[in-house]
């Protein structure tokens, strides 16, 4: 539903926190009610690095709300697009038209997948996994750009989330197109033109040579991130492992977050520790064939924020 130029929404029994919301804006606004979806959880889940929670309502929303009203605001940049969102429980407002939301953002947020059923499929005897999912039931696996995820997760090697965000933003600001108020993710051509150490000044360290090499392989046609989507998980993973500087964890992250192979199960130090502590006999992949990567996100989030 596209909202009118002035929209008032009063609380109901099903939305106790949504006391009063008052918007004024010059752009179309899309209103959605979405279950099992939390921008706050996704923003700190380690799968995306250009989504952030805002301290106040962005300009697109002139909101008359009290600090304790339960409304959270977000800025999301994906490839060359930018979106502002407001969330209170299962109610969302997005500063875009309904047609734009349906054409791009609905798929980006993976809203057509029933994550509630995925959580219901968890073995009732697995207390750890049940608690992990209960900690972050609003996480969804975003459908992100393969090229952006390739470079982003090369950056993620031996890195932490705040620093990854800083590095990603740095290369976007220096080499991405200025879209007025934000920068798009840089194209392969911009990074391929650099010397192998050309990104070290931005704090990328040894990863600089891996990024430049990957960009050059894309520009030469040897690697086509968009074509990887057409491959099955095993084939895509095998191709990524051939890229200079990419190991198993990065390949699985690109498969999960860039190619939406939700069976991919990245194992970093956090997940390795979880598996050792709670699944010493091995994680029961056979029970969750085809979507273990979604459960990995619950485990990762729970380990960091639970």
Strand partners, 84: 75
**Distance between CA 290 and CA 302 in Å, rounded?**
21
Task: Name the strand (E) or helix (H) holding 170.
Answer: helix 161-175
Which residue is catalytic, options 52, 130, 166, 249? 249
| 228 close to 240: Cβ distance less than 8 angstroms | yes
Task: Kindly provide the residue ranges of all beta strands, DSSP E only, lying in 70-128, ordered along the sequence.
Answer: 72-78, 81-88, 91-94
**Distance between CA 137 and CA 306 in Å, rounded?**
12
| 213 close to 223: Cβ distance less than 8 angstroms | no
CB atoms within 10 A of CB 233: 18
**Distance between CA 255 and CA 258 in Å, rounded?**
6
| 137 close to 120: Cβ distance less than 8 angstroms | no
Residue 248 bears catalytic tag: no
Helix (H, G, I), strand (E, B) or coil at 10: strand
b vs e for 98-118, b when ≥16 Cβ sit within 10 Å of the residue's Cβ? Answer: bebbeebbbebbbbebebeeb
Q: Terminal CA-to-CA distance of the chain, rounded, Å?
A: 35
Catalytic residues: 249
């Amino acid at each position: 539903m596209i909202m009118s130029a002035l929209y008032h929404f009063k609380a109901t029994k099903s939305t106790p926190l949504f006391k009063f919301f008052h918007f004024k804006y010059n752009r179309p606004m899309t209103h959605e009610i979405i279950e099992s979806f939390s921008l706050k959880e996704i923003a700190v889940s380690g799968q995306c690095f250009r989504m952030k929670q805002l301290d106040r309502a962005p300009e697109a929303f002139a909101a008359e709300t009290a600090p304790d009203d339960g409304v959270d605001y977000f800025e999301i940049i994906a490839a060359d697009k930018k979106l502002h969102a407001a969330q209170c429980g299962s109610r969302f407002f997005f500063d875009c038209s309904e047609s734009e939301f349906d054409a791009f953002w609905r798929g980006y947020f993976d809203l057509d997948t029933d994550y509630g059923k995925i959580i219901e499929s968890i073995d009732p005897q697995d207390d750890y996994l049940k608690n992990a999912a209960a900690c972050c039931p609003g996480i969804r696996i975003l459908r992100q750009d393969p090229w952006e995820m390739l470079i982003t997760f090369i950056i993620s090697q031996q890195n932490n989330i705040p620093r990854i965000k800083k590095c990603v933003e740095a290369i976007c600001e220096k080499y991405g197109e200025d879209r007025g108020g934000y920068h798009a993710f840089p194209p392969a051509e911009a990074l391929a033109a650099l010397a192998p150490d050309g990104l070290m000044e931005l704090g990328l360290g040894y990863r600089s040579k891996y990024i430049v090499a990957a960009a050059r392989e894309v520009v030469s046609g040897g690697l086509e991130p968009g074509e990887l989507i057409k491959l099955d998980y095993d084939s895509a993973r095998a191709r990524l492992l051939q890229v200079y500087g990419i190991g198993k964890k990065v390949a699985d992250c690109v498969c999960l977050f860039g190619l939406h192979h939700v069976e991919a199960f990245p194992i970093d130090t956090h997940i390795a520790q979880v598996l050792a502590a709670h699944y010493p006999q091995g994680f029961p992949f056979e029970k969750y064939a085809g979507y273990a990567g979604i459960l990995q996100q619950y485990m990762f989030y729970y380990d960091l924020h639970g």
